[in-house]
Amino acid sequence: MAIPCPPFIGSEKLSIESGAMSPSSPSPLILTQDELKKIAAYKAVEFVQSGMVLGLGTGSTAKHAVDRIADLLHQGKLKNIVGIPTSTKTHKQAVSLGIPLSDLNSHPVVDLAIDGADEVDSNLNLVKGRGGSLLREKMIESACKKFIVIVDESKLVAHVGASGAMPVEVVPFCWKFTQDRLQNLFDYAGCLAKLRTDNGGEKIFVTDNGNYIVDLFFKKDIGDLKVASDAILRLAGVVEHGMFLDMATTVIVADRTSDPVRLYWRLVVTLASLDPQLLRRLLKMFMGLYSVIGLKKSLQYGHPEGPTDLKERKQSSQKHPQDSEHDMVE
């Protein structure tokens, strides 16, 4: 179920690599879902700068971003880039494109990661891992200074788990025991836990780390996501889950509008993505404004501002009892 894009700042018409069409064009361009993904990915790569350590995401949307980074490297528009892939699949793609690679052992701090998501809610919480790479994705993207999420409009949801599975990576040992505990944990949300299989159910899906994935399907909203996250991680046998909470600093959404020719990128910025000095200035300005508003209200309505003002008001009432009586009548 798709919902309108979360609150955003910034709206810009995008063109397509093969050439943009004007709104008055007689033959409107109908964009496929993959083309929408490509537009979001290309917009995200505009944030990449030479010399960066990059987290390279996994999936159909992130693939476009990796391709674009390689193109810019070969054109000489980007230099000294180091990529850290979030899966063996992305590793193979990056190697084939000639992108220099490393890992978190050598580069424990990542400047920027670009990746897709299976779901994005209005608070920028994500569901990832339906492609099976959630553990490496979370390790790398939690080490990032900035994490840009690229999606098309179909990934926007009312709440986590609204459009499908919320994956949980578990160890193979006694996986059925862990699966049952996960299902019981969310019984209140009508949870159905299913072991992920491959090749039409012929064999169990195995992650890059040799683990299994239990997909959780919810009939209802699971409520407080941090509480749910902690409860899952407390279960022995669980390695990691696919909820990425408070991690995305920016979300770029490519969507269709009422005019099928026009496409807008939507940039959702959280406080975490702001420059610290700018954030301090904004907070200082806000506190100053709050103080002024409070002072004006005090002067207008005679509200005491503190113990000293209350004492003075009491003394004034004692000196002018007739005024005090008048105040009581009012």
Position 11 scores a pLDDT of 37
Tell me if 137 sits within 8 A of 28, measured CB to CB.
no
Confirm whether 169 is a catalytic residue: no
Instruction: For residues 137 and 147, give the distance between their C-alpha atoms in angstroms, rounded to a whole number.
Output: 11
Q: Which residues, at least 6 apart from 43, have a Cβ–Cβ distance to it below 8 Å?
A: 14, 150, 252, 254, 265
DSSP secondary structure string for all residues of 27-81: S-----HHHHHHHHHHHHHTT--TT-EEEE--SHHHHHHHHHHHHHHHTTSS-S-
**Which pairing describes strands 212-217 and 166-170: parallel, antiparallel, or unpaired?**
antiparallel
**290's tokens:** 């709050």
Position 85 scores a pLDDT of 98
Give the domain range for residue 196: 11-269
Position 200 scores a pLDDT of 80
Q: How many CB atoms lie under 10 A from the CB of residue 125?
A: 21
Report CA 228 to chain centroid distance, whole Å: 17
**26's tokens:** 């007689």
Position 19 scores a pLDDT of 31
For 17, the enclosing helix (H) or strand (E) is none
**Burial classification of residue 82, based on how many CB atoms lie within 10 Å of its CB (0-12 exposed, 13-18 middle, 19 or more buried):** middle
**Which DSSP category does 118 fall into?**
S
Catalytic choice (12, 17, 46, 137): 137
For 186, the enclosing helix (H) or strand (E) is none
**Residue 125 counted as domain residue:** yes
Extract long-range pairs of 74-79: CB within 8 Å, 24+ residues apart.
74/98, 78/48, 78/49, 78/50, 79/50, 79/51
Position 253 scores a pLDDT of 87
Instruction: For residues 202 and 204, give the distance between their C-alpha atoms in angstroms, rounded to a whole number.
Output: 7
Tell me if 265 sits within 8 A of 10, measured CB to CB.
yes
Tell me the whole-structure pTM to 2 decimals.
0.71
**Residue 303 counted as domain residue:** no
- What CATH number has the domain bearing residue 202? 3.40.50.1360
Instruction: For residues 282 and 53, give the distance between their C-alpha atoms in angstroms, rounded to a whole number.
Output: 29
**265's tokens:** 């990128």
Q: What are the residue ranges of helices labelled H in 223-320?
A: 225-233, 276-301, 307-319
**Residue 128 counted as domain residue:** yes
**Residue 215 counted as domain residue:** yes
Instruction: For residues 156 and 119, give the distance between their C-alpha atoms in angstroms, rounded to a whole number.
Output: 6
Below-70 pLDDT ranges, the chain: 1-29, 257-276, 278-279, 282, 284-330
Number of domains in the chain: 1
